[in-house]
Structure 1
Amino acid sequence: MKEQLYTIPVNDAFDKDTECPLCSMRETLEEEAIAYTLGPSYMEEDVRAVTDEKGFCPEHLKMLYNNQNRLGLALILNTHLNKINRDIEHLMKSQPKISSSSIFKKKAANNEIADYVDKLKTSCFICDKINDTFNHYIKTIYHLYKTDPNFSKKFRDTKGFCIDHYSLLYKNAPNYFHGKYLDDFIAELNSLYMNNMKRVNEDLEWFINKFDYRYGDEPWKEAKDAIPRTMLKTNSINL
């Protein structure tokens, strides 16, 4: 089974003390994808052809810039920009000459350029690279939960998941479990999610209380980092 190839990174993520092991997995994939993009691979013609075609989303372009390999990024952006200019110039030249009265033809011609730009705005080499492996990780989670008692215990011992990844695990579960197995998994997933979201919210409320003079001498308990942990739970932001 191909998913077994991913058991090590999945187990490693579930071994971590984190509010969402799936966020941890995705963060590692993101770091690896950034390093790969600005590593020796950017000199390979087949890789450059894909980065030229797909480009990058704003967030990952910022991360590439912060990586400090400015020459590598400049080379990648240079050929990417060359392709964009060639493509748009071709679309400009291919537009039929139309009169001001040919409003429908004019809209159709303009839409070709707009559609090209819209497609480019939703395309990202790094997002695609992350998502491809991450989808295998999700399959591996279900596989290990079903076949490995040690992993199913790890699953139960986690601090739950962020909203997005809870939803992802919930939505895809029927593709891997049926009948009682599905009911048991969903019940366990729901319990993990809700109990830990309530725990984090209690920590957040205690954080707020600590700004009230009446609680000034009380211990912080687990509340000092309640804000970043809440941000991870609600928005998958890992500070």
Structure 2
Amino acid sequence: MKLELETIPVWDGVASQSECFLCDLMAEAQKDGLSFYLGNSVMNPETRVKVNEHGFCTKHWQLLAAANKPQGVALMADTYLGMTRSKAEKSINNLLGTKTPRGAKKAIQAFKQEMEAREKGCLVCSAMQQRLDRYVFTTCYLWGEDEAFRQALQEGKGFCLHHFQLLLEKAPTVLSSSLVASFVHDLTQTEVFNLDRIAKDVYWMTQKYKSENMDKPWNGCEDAHKRSVDKMTGRHRVIDPV
């Protein structure tokens, strides 16, 4: 499937000098996804059918519930819960009817499988994943086509390790075979340089709490603990959206 290029947000991301502009773009994608299901869309029958069928992951149900839009969330929860009860009716009846340890174990396993299937396919995660696919594709594509972008990416702060991995995986499907090795080398070089920078910053933060260093300058490391966690884990990852 051919992906649509997203050159403007990707270029803006590179120019932002963020620790991981893909995390920033995913934060925007999440905000947009939540806003869609907190708005008038919940009155649309097609939207309600999608919510009833797929629902949201735990994280996004919680964010929707915390968004101070109780009516829309209640409408979605009402019909989603009803659909969940309907789909799990057989499994629940089997749990109610267990009479032996073996029967109970079998009923529990069946209910577990029902719940695991039910909890896959978060609509917000899926929308985020579609945008992430386009952003990752565009980043690789621009690196291969635009020397200015290549230079800007090399001079940037790299990515969280999760999105760094995704870019490496995507490159062979986007770039010509003659460019893949150079892309991997250049991107890894930038990533290692910035991992070393983060490591240096967070180390100095640990030293600043020693009595002999309390009067020394922070050198911009006041938030090094947050930046190091973001770099290691990614602030906005899409995990198992389908």
Q: Verify same fold: TM over 0.5.
A: yes
- The 2-side partners of 1:100 and 1:204 are apart by 56
1:47 aligned partner: 47
2:195 aligned partner: 197
**CA shift for structure 1 position 109:** 6.6
What letter matches 1:187 in structure 2?
H
Work out whether residues 3 and 137 of structure 1, in 8 Å CA contact, stay in contact via their aligned partners in 2: no
- The 1-side partners of 2:235 and 2:98 are apart by 50
Give TM-score, length-normalised by structure 1: 0.88
Matches within 5 A, 1:113-132: 113-132=111-130
2:69 aligned partner: 69
**CA shift for structure 1 position 216:** 2.1
After superposition, what is the alpha-carbon deviation per residue over 1:53-93, rounded to whole angstroms, capped at 9, x for unaligned? Answer: 11111111121122111111111111100111111225557
What letter matches 2:58 in structure 1?
P
Unmatched 5+ stretches in structure 1: none
2:170 aligned partner: 172
- Decide which moves more: 113-122 or 212-221: 113-122
- The 1-side partners of 2:211 and 2:166 are apart by 42
- The 1-side partners of 2:43 and 2:98 are apart by 43
Work out whether residues 14 and 21 of structure 1, in 8 Å CA contact, stay in contact via their aligned partners in 2: yes
Work out whether residues 54 and 119 of structure 2, in 8 Å CA contact, stay in contact via their aligned partners in 1: no
- The 1-side partners of 2:167 and 2:55 are apart by 29
What letter matches 1:45 in structure 2?
P
- The 1-side partners of 2:156 and 2:44 are apart by 41
**CA shift for structure 1 position 211:** 0.9
1:147 aligned partner: 145
Q: Percent identity?
A: 25
What letter matches 2:44 in structure 1?
E
After superposition, what is the alpha-carbon deviation per residue over 1:122-159, rounded to whole angstroms, capped at 9, x for unaligned? Answer: 33111111111211111111111112223222211210
Is the partner of 2:88 in helix, strand or coil?
Answer: helix
What letter matches 2:219 in structure 1?
K
Is the partner of 1:188 in helix, strand or coil?
Answer: helix
1:138 aligned partner: 136
Matches within 5 A, 1:1-239: 2-4=3-5, 6-89=6-89, 111-237=109-235
Superposed CA RMSD in Å reads 2.5
Question: Are residues 139 and 39 of structure 1, via their aligned partners in 2, closer, same or farther at CA, if it must alter by over 3 Å?
Answer: same
Give TM-score, length-normalised by structure 2: 0.87
- The 2-side partners of 1:210 and 1:100 are apart by 62
